[in-house]
Structure 1
Amino acid sequence: MLNPTIQRRRLGNALRRARERAGKTQDEAAERIDAAASKISRLELGQSGIKLTDLALLLDLYGVRDEQADSMRELARAGRQRGRWSGYRDAIPDWFRQYVDLEADAYEIRWYQPEVIPGVLQVEPYIRAMSSTAHPRPTPGELDRQVKLRLERQANLHRADGPTLGFVLSESALRRNIGGPAVITAQLAHLAEISHRVELQVLPFDAQTYETASYGFIILRFDPATDTDVIYLEDYTDAAYLDRPDAVRAYTRLYNRLCAAALGPAESRHLIQQVADDLQRRAT
């Protein structure tokens, strides 16, 4: 059973297609349910659930009948259920909650990170060191919840039937000395070990190409029969979810160019070990 976030996105896509086939605008749809046009936008993006009474009004406006209407009502009911990560609501910012649900149901994840180690590859000491500099700083209880959530996400992604994972990291992410030599050395050892199980490449400082991006992004791919692919972009206090086909194609091309510019898996492991050795020599 897909999680509620996926069900809301499926319903949102179906509502948008039905509205466009009916030749109706978002303003006209909003007027029918006595709401702002922004609410229709959120519904079509899968960012909120919908009451069955409002859904009935929209289905009537769009001329949706019979089995299609029944299917959309079922999606609406499923989308109002609690998600698998609802027990961590206190540990997840509002703008990040949709991501953790999408991540759990993706069949392929491609992640580019230029400055820090991606969250799902972090060891616990690294997680705690990163969180210690957050603002506002979490309480010990909040930090424990954040660590537990991240480790559970890692376990979910690395299960036998989990998604295909691919990562491109900048060399600067390896060399940023977060938590001190002992923490970063343990983190690098973990990266070297896990690189045998996931696709992990490093974009070195001396790469023979200038292809790069100063911002991180994640490509989440889904079964086309159930959902559209999503590009996740995050800043300091918010996130964007892009699912327009042109945006997905553009970021996919960018990721492929970054892969081509980066070292291969074996060479990347060698650089990871080299960085770890450099840190140990400086620490002694």
Structure 2
Amino acid sequence: MAMSPSEFLVWELRRRRELEGLTQEEWGERVHYSGAHVSAVERGTRPALPDYLEAVDKEFGTSLATYLREVVENEISPVWLREWNLLQDEALALRWYDPAFVPGPLQTEAYARATLRVSGLFTNEEVEQRVANRMARQAAILGTNGASGEQHLMAILDEMVLRRTVARDRGLMAEQVAHLVACAQLPNVSILVVPADTGIYCGLQGGFIIARLPEHSTAAYVDHQVSAQVVNRDAELATLQTTWDLIAAEALSKRQSLDLLKEAAETWK
């Protein structure tokens, strides 16, 4: 049976280390990671994230970070999602609303893994690959991968996202909400919260993302229970823009939202 791209990536990492005649501990010292980290990546129990692969590329002259970005990230993505990934990469600004989960670019690795597992739709390998993909895109959007972070992310989330436990793990939520507090203070990130006492509002029908693209164009992504779609028709985009404006009108100000994030973070400690 042929290897998948992610399996090949793990195989190539192990093959390259053995070619160099290095133990996992020695390899880890060369790329400034622990031997335990190297071992977990080679066993497939920890995703090979961009920062690790970039360290390998720098030390050993490989191109594995490029392989991750150009091949592995798309291996489990349907064609329509590949289109959205490209649009998202081009976007100058993203407006991201989610009534149920922390938006992907703001998730911790543990939160992402837990929410993917709870769906019951993916194998362990698929979960790990999706986590790796999500972390790579997060780094690109937030500018934590060494890029300039020129994209602006405005996220609106429902307060219940901050109050609802994931996998019954308070520590996981403490880490996640603290991460939101840190992200909210980045120069290219704005996080607004719709307070719990708002009651029923139009955003509870489902989440969506609006991307502002170069040359004044716009596209959007809408996710449903059994399908998702890229939206680029003017009438549908106008409807989503109106919905966004109505949701934003219900949200707290940026300063008030940050205060609420900090208060929520304290409750999980």
Taking structure 1 as the reference length, the TM-score comes to: 0.63
Question: Where do residues 13-162 of structure 1 align in structure 2 (5 Å cutoff)?
Answer: 85-139=70-124, 141-159=125-143, 160-162=148-150
Distance 1:95 1:244, change over 3 A: closer
Deviation at 1:203, TM superposition (A): 0.2
Q: Which moved more, 1:192-201 or 1:160-169?
A: 160-169
Q: Residues 107-256 of structure 1: matches in 2 within 5 Å?
A: 107-139=92-124, 141-159=125-143, 160-179=148-167, 180-197=169-186, 198-207=189-198, 210=201, 212-224=203-215, 228-256=217-245
For the structure 1 residues 135 and 95, does the alpha-carbon distance in structure 2 shift closer, same or farther, using more than 3 Å as the test?
farther
Q: Which has the higher mean CA deviation after the structures are superposed, 91-100 or 190-199?
A: 91-100
User: For 1:264, which of 234, 253, 269 is the aligned residue?
Assistant: 253
Q: Which runs of 4+ in 1 moved over 6 A?
A: none
Q: Secondary structure at the match of 1:174?
A: helix
CA distance in 2, matches of 1:176, 1:89: 31
In structure 2, the CA distance between the partners of 1:236 and 1:97, relative to structure 1 (3 Å rule), is: farther
Post-superposition shift, 1:111?
Answer: 0.6
CA distance change for structure 1 residues 221 and 185 in 2, over 3 Å: closer, same or farther? same
Structure 1 runs not aligned, ≥5 long: 1-81
Q: Which amino acid aligns with 1:121?
A: L
1:278 maps to which residue?
267
Partner secondary structure for residue 102 of structure 2 = coil
Over 3 Å counting, the alpha-carbon distance change for 1:245 and 1:229 in structure 2 is same
Offset, 1:183: 0.4
Query: Structure 2 CA distance, aligned partners of 1:195 and 1:121?
Result: 9
Provide the rounded CA distance (Å) in 1 between the counterparts of 2:226 and 2:80.
8
2:245 is aligned with what amino acid?
N
The structural deviation recorded for 1:260 is: 2.1
For residues 150 and 235 of structure 2, what CA distance do their matches in structure 1 show? 27
Change in CA separation of 1:161 and 1:127 when aligned onto 2, cut-off 3 Å: closer
**How many angstroms apart in 2 are the aligned matches of 1:154 and 1:115?**
19
> Is contact 1:166-1:200 (8 Å) kept?
yes
Q: Is the 8 A contact 1:115 1:176 kept in 2?
A: no
- Separation of aligned partners in 2, 1:211 and 1:236: 18
Report the 3-state secondary structure (helix = DSSP H, G, I; strand = E; otherwise coil) of the residue aligned with 2:196: coil
Distance 1:94 1:134, change over 3 A: farther
Q: CA deviation at 1:236?
A: 2.7
Q: CA deviation at 1:97?
A: 2.1
Q: CA RMSD in A?
A: 2.3
What's the TM-score once normalised by structure 2's chain length?
0.66
Note if contact 2:105-2:142 (Cα within 8 Å) is conserved in structure 1: no
Q: Structure 1 residues 187 and 219, CA, compared in 2 at 3 Å: closer, same or farther?
A: same
**Contact 2:95-2:153 at 8 Å conserved across structures:** yes
Code of the residue aligned with 1:272 in structure 2: it is: L
Aligned residue pair count: 196
Q: 1:257 to 1:181 in 2, by over 3 A?
A: same
Partner of 2:192, secondary structure, is strand
> For 1:206, what is the secondary structure of its paired residue?
helix
